[in-house]
Structure 1
Amino acid sequence: MDDFYFVEHAEIEDIKMSLANEDLPSAVDKIKDYFAQLDSVELNIAVTGESGSGKSTFINAFRGLGDEDEGSAATGVVETTTEPAAYPYPKFPNVKLWDLPGIGTPRFKADEYLKQVQFEQYDFFIIITSERFRECHVNLAAEIDKMKKKFYFIRSKIDSNIEAEKRKKTFNEQQTLDLIRNNCIKGLEEIGLKSPSVFLISCFELSLYDFNHLEKTIEQELPQHKRDVLILALPNISLEINERKKKSLQKNIWKLALLSASVAAVPIPS
């Protein structure tokens, strides 16, 4: 019943008390206030990585935008982000993807970097590379873990790797993907990370490779109220995501019905 339990018992009792005391407008206001709180739930996602790793392109794709669409994050062959920049979802402005300054410079220190970008405001971190993961990625992940926050490793530009490998007579797409993933995991383990997970992503074709798996993993590890916000904000890139959106909306209908039934069960004084 966890998925259906979204109104605290005390709040329902408060509404009932208002009704019992012949204060119907007050009860209606309490219900409206509660749903207004639900609409104001925020989700802040931090995206970081080295310059040229595809951070901005990933942010645009994750929001259902192209690199040249209005409101898209700036992209380029050189680092274009010097301060954290927020990019809200077009239809869900309370859900924001943050483009963080690049990591990997000789002076980079993970702990100082997190203070610089104000890590407290983010719900979780996405760490992107377009090649091998390096020590700077592991150091950053270790600092995030100390703060009791989640992080996810993404290996981007998989579509370019696949196109390059297709020239070989012995090309096998699944074997190529497994090779890239295993190589990333091995590299992370060699520099101190235990049992890492790596998601292979093409920012130009999000429906391919590991994007659905990434989204489901993030969704499962978020608190319930933020989980629903994420799934509804995502672009409609696959039937699987559309089905999960449908289930989330159906679940919310039941939530409203349960609240309505709880309140309606109280006799309204004449």
Structure 2
Amino acid sequence: MENMFSRSVDPEIREALLNNDEASAAAVLQQYLQEQENIPLNIAVTGDTGSGKSTFVNTIRGVGDDAEGAAPTGVVETTKEVTHYPHPNFPKVIFWDVPGIGTMNFPAEKYLELVEFERFDFFIIISDRFRENDVKLAKEIQKKKMKFYFVRSKIDNNVRDKRRSQREFSEERTLTQIRKTCIQSLQDQGFESPQVFLVSSFDLHLYDFPLLAETLERELPDLKREAFQLAMPNTSLEMIDKKKKAFKSKIKYWATLSAAVAGVPVPGLSVAVDLSLLVGVVTRFVFGFGLDISSLKKISHYTGVPYEELKAIIKSPLAATVVTPALVLNLLAQTESLVALMTAEEGSRFIPILIPVTMTLSFLTIYKALNIFLDVLADDARRVFEKTTLNCRG
């Protein structure tokens, strides 16, 4: 049993397994997995009136501007106080809509203190034209040794206007000029070597948002990096692959939890835990890849690809639906190798001398099942991304 899975997990769990204390191992594993799923990430999004920060907050969360729980948007100042907006599928990832610096209620000299800057992991400073207050805020954040990122918003509007007005339009030249102007503006106000990300809140896969996501991910600590990855929309095939890798790294822990529970001699416990575990983990896969009904409808709305067309290219029955124990059981029963493992596990479950065998079979069943489900869902996410990206480019 040790060679099969216990060497791949933490020392405390391994020791409990080797001492045949399966109940303790299961408790430790359960706590570990819960802690991993509840890593907090707090992102402050700030900028002047009309800069588009509320729309950015809504879009990055996969929520429409008119949806329940959306950050209010408008041409007048709608952010009067620091307001938090949890990600709908990963509620520990919270985006904070923060009033711009220098407003009546948030004067520059007391800004960071009033917004309680210590709670944030980093700041995103959004503007459609960087001004003195943006630089002032960045310098104050810099003094606190915190991370911040300049985001130039509404790039889609600029590109569209230039395309209409220029006979020989070049998108690359237009973007280069906008970036150069932003950087020069920040340098003129005394900010050295600024990096500016050009973003459209309505087309996150275009322009610099994938680069922004990659930069944020790279500069976050390991545990928060994974929380950020899973909450981000699929803006590239690389992002989908990173999500898959993050999920895959956890499968050994979920499978070991199943094995530990299988060693506890309580009738019906292992089956109940396995089903609950599979439903919970697969649902997390679906949400992480943006394959739940709400996310797919949101993607359909923004890209113009009909929802039914997106459903048509999805192969896994786990996507675009509610994952239930009955659905998971039905899928397990359709895979011969999994049926063989489950049958062997049930046959050995109540023979004390075969408990180690039961645990190994339980580990293998969950490990293999989750890998199968993960592969199919990741492939579906790629197909949806390619379909919607092609439509936008067309």
TM bin (shorter chain): 0.7 to 0.9
Question: RCO (CA 8 Å, sep 6+): is it higher in 1 or 2?
Answer: 1
TM-score by length of 1: 0.85
In structure 1, the residue matched to 2:50 is 52
Partner of 1:174 in structure 2? 172
Q: Which structure has more helix as a fraction of its residues?
A: 2
8 Å contact from structure 1 (residues 51, 103) kept in 2:
no
Shift of 1:204: 1.1
* Partner of residue 142, structure 1: 139
Offset of 1:18 from its aligned partner?
3.7
Deviation for aligned residue 1:95: 0.3
Partner Cα distance (1:63, 1:241) in 2: 16
Q: Which structure is larger by alpha-carbon Rg, 1 or 2? A: 2
Provide the aligned C-alpha RMSD in A: 2.5
202-211 or 251-260: bigger deviation: 251-260
Equivalenced residue count is 253
Structure 2 residue runs of 5 or longer lacking an equivalent are 1-7, 260-355, 357-394
The one-letter code matched in structure 2 to 1:63 is R
The residue type paired with residue 228 of structure 2 is L
CA drift at 1:225? 0.8
Choose which of 142, 149, 153 in structure 1 pairs with 2:150.
Answer: 153
- What is the aligned partner in structure 2 of residue 62 from structure 1? 60
Moved more, 244-253 or 173-182: 244-253
1:265 match: none
CA distance in 2, matches of 1:255, 1:29: 12
Q: Which residue is 2:198 aligned to?
A: 200
After superposition, the C-alpha distances for 1:140-172 in whole angstroms (9 at most, x for unaligned) are 111111212110000001111111111211321
1:213 and 1:171 mapped to 2: Cα distance?
24
Distance 1:257 1:146, change over 3 A: farther
Q: Structure 1 residues 244, 13: CA separation in 2 closer, same or farther (over 3 Å shift)? A: closer
Structure 2 CA distance for partners of 1:211 and 1:111, relative to 1, 3 Å = same
Give the 3-state SS of the residue equivalent to 2:100 in structure 1: coil
What secondary structure is seen at the aligned counterpart in 2 of 1:151? strand
CA displacement at 1:12 relative to structure 2: 3.1
For residues 98-149 of structure 1, the C-alpha deviation after alignment (integer angstroms, 9 at most, x for no partner) is: 0001234489644411111110000000000012x11211111111112121
State the Cα distance separating 1:244 from its structure 2 match.
2.3
Q: Encode CA deviations 1:192-235: one digit per residue, 9 max, x unaligned.
A: 11111000011111111000000000000001111111111112
Q: 2:89 aligns with which of 88, 91, 102?
A: 91
Residue range with higher mean Cα deviation, 52-61 or 21-30 = 21-30
Question: Matches of 2:13 and 2:242 in 1, distance apart?
Answer: 31
Q: Give the unaligned 5+ runs of structure 1.
A: 1-8, 262-267
- Paired letter, 2:243: K
What is the CA distance between 1:181 and its match in structure 2? Answer: 0.3
Question: Which stretch of structure 1 is more off in the superposition, 227-236 or 38-47?
Answer: 227-236
